[in-house]
């Protein structure tokens, strides 16, 4: 491939290698890219354009929405409504499914997204992101909830955009994982991180330690062994990170390995995990597995879960293969 290959060029060239591909998918991706560039711009301008702080509303999860949660959701919906490529959408910020407005044709894909992941970080100027997942839909239907409730293994594409020191898009269509950096001067995402692979050797974990008293035994055991370092059963020292922004944690793991956990905890029996299956766990699982890692609830592979609700939450353990396998084995031993 030539130098400075753009995301659009990359996707079109990938599609050419797939017999029977119609090319419509690259158009859809283009609209996601356009939305993410707009979001990047708003996030970057921040206080200068008055977009920081809370809105006067809560989302379906009962969380106070940030102004930017609402703005970024509107940007995604507007950018994806008109193109005739989607049959419907679902957003972490919206209770019900989002229909395509009557005046536009409907297409064969479904888009699910978390328009601003990690938004509690926005007012303290830390990294946030947009996560998206694309599913195929039966053609010519007005999609119902069942059309969306499909296993993560059926995703045709998943990606996220990180609004950090650089704006970076990470993407998979099931043929590996590639990273593209937004060149602000020319307004294009350029392939900068081809074929991302999660390093297998790792000694870094990410977990919200303030919830320790609510974890199950297998997770308690894993973390205790990490913390006991060189003198413990692992025989090496571990480092810890917690950014409270899933996109940033996953990007770190893709670049230097490690493990991230938001495990099952007993705080609220009706809420077995914090993160959402459809907008967070599934797309990240697709990316992590395509980069050679693993993603599990601790008991089941995330991509094999049959979703029960569009806003369902799940326990999430992801990262370097050997570490996730270790945690799964601790869960099995505990059963
Ligand atoms: O789902 C939103 C999210 O902000 C994730 O991006 C992040 O990993 C997690 O929640 C942070 O949780 P906590 O607020 O418990 O640190």
Answer whether residue 1 shows pLDDT above 70.
no
In tens, the pLDDT along 195-254 reads 999 998 899 999 999 999 999 999 999 999 999 999 999 999 999 999 999 999 999 999
Specify the ligand 1 atom closest to the Cα of 211.
15
Q: Measure 25 CA to ligand 1 centroid, in angstroms.
A: 30
Contact criterion met (CB below 8 Å) for 117 and 129: yes
User: Is the pTM for the entire model greater than 0.75?
Assistant: yes
H, E, C per residue of the chain: CCCCCEHHHHHHHHHHCCCCCCCHHHHHHHHHHHHHHHHHHHHHHHHHHCCCCEEEEECCCCCEEEHHHHHHHHHHHHHHHCCCCEEEEEECCCCCCECCCCCCCCCCEEEEEEEEECHHHHHHCCCEEEEEEEEECCCCCCCCHHHHCCCHHHCCEEEEEEECCCEEEEEECCCCEEEEEEECCCCEEEEEECCCCCCCCCCEEECCHHHHHHECHHHHHHHHHHHCHHHCCCCCCCEECCCCCHHHHHHHHHHHCCEEEECCECCCCCCCCCEEHHHHHHHHHHHHHHCCCEEECCCCEHHHCCCCCCCCEECEEEECHHHHHHHHHHHHHHC
Nearest CA to ligand 1 atom 12: 244
Specify the ligand 1 atom closest to the Cα of 119.
4
Q: Measure 84 CA to ligand 1 centroid, in angstroms.
A: 33
In tens, the pLDDT along 68-96 reads 999 999 999 999 999 999 999 999 999 99
Nearest CA to ligand 1 atom 11: 244
* pLDDT of the residue at 2: 52
* pLDDT of the residue at 59: 76
Q: Measure 138 CA to ligand 1 centroid, in angstroms.
A: 33
Structural domains of the chain ordered from first start = 7-193 (3.30.540.10), 204-334 (3.40.190.80)
């Amino acid at each position: 491939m030539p130098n400075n290959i753009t995301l659009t060029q990359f996707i079109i060239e990938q599609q050419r290698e797939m017999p029977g591909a119609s090319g419509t998918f690259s158009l859809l991706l283009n609209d996601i890219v356009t939305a993410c560039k707009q979001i990047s711009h708003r996030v970057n301008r921040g206080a200068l354009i008055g977009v920081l702080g809370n809105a006067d509303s809560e989302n379906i999860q009962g969380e106070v929405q940030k102004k930017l949660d609402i703005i970024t959701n509107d940007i995604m919906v507007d950018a994806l409504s008109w193109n005739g490529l989607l049959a419907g959408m679902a957003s972490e910020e919206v209770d019900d499914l989002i229909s395509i407005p009557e005046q536009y044709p409907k297409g064969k894909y479904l888009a699910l997204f978390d328009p601003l992941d990690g938004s509690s970080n926005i007012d303290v100027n830390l990294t946030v992101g947009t996560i998206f997942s694309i599913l195929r839909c039966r053609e010519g239907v007005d999609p119902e909830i069942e059309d969306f409730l499909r296993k993560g293994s059926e995703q045709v594409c998943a990606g996220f955009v990180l609004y950090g020191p650089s704006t970076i898009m990470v993407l998979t269509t099931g043929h590996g994982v590639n990273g593209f950096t937004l060149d602000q001067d020319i307004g294009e995402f350029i392939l900068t991180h081809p074929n991302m692979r999660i390093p297998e050797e790792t000694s870094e974990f990410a977990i919200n330690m303030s919830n320790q008293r609510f974890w199950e035994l297998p997770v308690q055991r894993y973390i205790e062994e990490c913390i006991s370092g060189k003198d413990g059963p692992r025989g090496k020292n571990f480092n810890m990170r917690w950014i409270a922004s899933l996109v940033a944690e996953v990007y770190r793991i893709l670049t230097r390995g490690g493990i991230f956990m938001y495990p099952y905890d007993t705080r609220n029996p009706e809420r077995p995990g914090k993160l959402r299956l459809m907008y967070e766990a599934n797309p990240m699982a697709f990316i992590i597995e395509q980069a050679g890692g693993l993603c599990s609830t601790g008991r089941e592979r995330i991509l094999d879960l049959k979703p029960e609700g569009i806003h369902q939450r799940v326990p999430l353990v992801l990262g370097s293969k050997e570490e996730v396998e270790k945690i799964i084995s601790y869960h099995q031993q505990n059963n």
